[in-house]
Structure 1
Amino acid sequence: MPETREPAASQPGDARVEAVRYRLRRQAEERGEEVEETNAGQPSMDQRAHVIENAIQQAIRRGDFDDLPGAGKPLPGLTGTHDPDWWIRRKIEREQLTGLGPPALTLRTEDKEFADRLDRLASERTVREHVEDFNRRVREARRQLQGGPPVVTPMRDADVERDPV
């Protein structure tokens, strides 16, 4: 005959214990006493950590973490300084959006492609206009009072940009 185990008195879900707690709460409320809620029946942090660790180890044994994208590669964005606008910069890069975001970020992106863009312009006048427009936007971004990342993009010299080195 198989052994039947009775649940321990402190085990969560034990109807007898819950019934006693309920009666004690009701009696305390009737006497006007403040009823203190306890975490009885709730697993402790150590118990939760143990359950989570077991679940992770089982997933590793099953191979659930094998062949994940980026396996063996460093996590992006862990090196360098902290950028409070990291999330918007990553979104713009991932979605390949142009012209969106804080001016500091859009100007940095434009600055990276500046030489290629100038090479496609046909005349000195259009190069100067483009450089002047870029410098005007850099100045405006530096003057902004809206907050956001600092504008570290350098201004460009039209005479240097028009003369190929």
Structure 2
Amino acid sequence: MSDRPEQRPDQRPENARPTERSRTEDEAERRKRSGHSAAHARIAHQASWVDQQVRVAMAKGEFDDLPGAGKPIKDLGREHDPDWWIKRLVEREQITVLPPSVALRKEDAGLDDHLDTIAFEGDVRREVEDFNARVIKARYSLSPGPPLVTMPRDVDATVTAWRERRAARLEAQRAALAASRPEPRRRWWQRRR
């Protein structure tokens, strides 16, 4: 008696190679099953079903007065561009991609306005130090585009200028508030003659 389980002749072990006969039997069984399934029938009649649904909708008038009816299709005459979606995203979101030297120059021009929106001196100091670190990193890296002409800022001088601008803004706000307040009305007993 052997240790192997008995095999029926119609079954083959998992590690056995399929023979030409078993392949043709498998193919015949697959064709038989797929030809009689409900899914096969649904797929075969899908196109006619869709056409019928469109005809019914047209008869009901569901396609009348759609937005854009009678107008030309936008960008129909252009040649196909595989990156059309990214270009539309850039246009819609107004994204600009600048070389690092130009981006740092632009950030340097608007840094004082950005610093004026910050309320605490420690945060201003961190922003200037972060800007300086990026400028120094860009100076020592090879980057495409025009050369970097932006210089790191003096942190203490920038913070002092921020403090002065902030004091001037607060004083202007106080003066505007004082000017907008009406003079207190004098009561009848306080009036001078």
The two structures have a TM-score, normalised by structure 2, of 0.34
Q: More helix per residue: 1 or 2?
A: 2
The two structures have a TM-score, normalised by structure 1, of 0.39
Structure label with greater radius of gyration: 2
